[in-house]
C-alpha cells in the first residue's frame, strides 16, 4: 500500500459520512493549519491507525513547513484548483487546494513576493461511498512554493 493512500475498502464510508468528510476536509483546507487536519483525523477516528498516520504526518509536515516563517504569513486568497493528474484517468477524483500568501516582515524587494502553495487529494468512490483517500504525489514536496511578484 502506498504511504499516501488510506484505504477504506474494508469499511467504506456511508454516502452521508462521505459527504460530511468532504465538507470537513474543505473546512480544514480553508484554515491552512496542520492542527485542523489532526482534528479531522480524530473526528473520523483515524489517529489510532498506524497506516493512516503516514498520510497525516505528510499533510502536517507540509503545513508546518509552509507556516514556518518567524513572523508568520498573511493569507489573502485560497480556494480549489483543477488538478491535472494521472488519477483522473484511472477512475479517481482529484481535488486541489491553493493558498496565496505573503511572508510577513520580509525586507524589500522580497516584501512584495506572493507565494502560492498547493496540495491535492485523491478520492476513490463507489456508489457515492468513499473507498480511498490520499495525498496526490505531485504535491508532496513541502519546500515547493511558487513565487509571484505582486
Q: Domain boundaries in the chain?
A: 5-149
Which positions of the chain have pLDDT values less than 50? 1-2, 142
Q: What is the pLDDT of residue 68?
A: 85
Alpha-carbon gap, residue 123 to 145, rounded angstroms:
24
Query: What would the DSSP string read from start to end of 63-112?
Result: HHHHT--TT-EEEEEEEEE----GGGGTT-EEEEEEEEEEETTPPTTGGG
Q: What is the pLDDT of residue 21?
A: 96
pTM of the predicted model, to two decimals?
0.82
Alpha-carbon gap, residue 86 to 64, rounded angstroms:
27
Grid cell, residue 94, equals 482529484
The widest CA-to-CA distance across the chain, in whole angstroms, is: 54
Helix (H) / strand (E) element for 130: namely: strand 129-135
Q: What is the pLDDT of residue 40?
A: 95
Place of cell 491535492: 120
Place of cell 484505504: 7
Q: What is the pLDDT of residue 36?
A: 94
Amino acid at each position: 500500500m502506498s504511504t499516501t493512500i488510506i484505504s477504506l475498502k474494508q469499511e467504506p464510508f456511508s454516502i452521508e459520512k462521505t459527504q460530511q468528510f468532504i465538507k470537513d476536509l474543505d473546512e480544514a483546507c480553508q484554515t491552512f493549519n496542520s492542527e485542523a487536519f489532526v482534528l479531522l483525523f480524530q473526528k473520523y477516528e483515524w489517529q489510532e491507525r498506524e497506516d493512516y498516520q503516514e498520510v497525516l504526518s505528510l499533510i502536517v509536515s507540509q503545513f508546518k513547513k509552509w507556516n514556518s516563517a518567524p513572523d508568520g504569513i498573511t493569507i489573502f486568497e485560497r480556494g480549489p484548483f483543477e488538478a491535472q493528474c494521472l488519477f483522473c484517468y484511472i477512475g479517481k477524483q482529484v481535488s486541489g487546494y491553493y493558498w496565496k500568501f505573503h511572508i510577513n516582515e520580509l525586507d524589500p524587494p522580497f516584501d512584495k513576493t506572493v507565494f502560492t502553495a498547493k496540495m491535492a487529494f485523491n478520492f476513490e468512490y463507489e456508489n457515492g461511498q468513499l473507498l480511498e483517500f490520499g495525498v496526490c504525489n505531485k504535491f508532496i514536496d513541502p519546500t515547493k512554493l511558487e513565487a509571484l511578484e505582486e
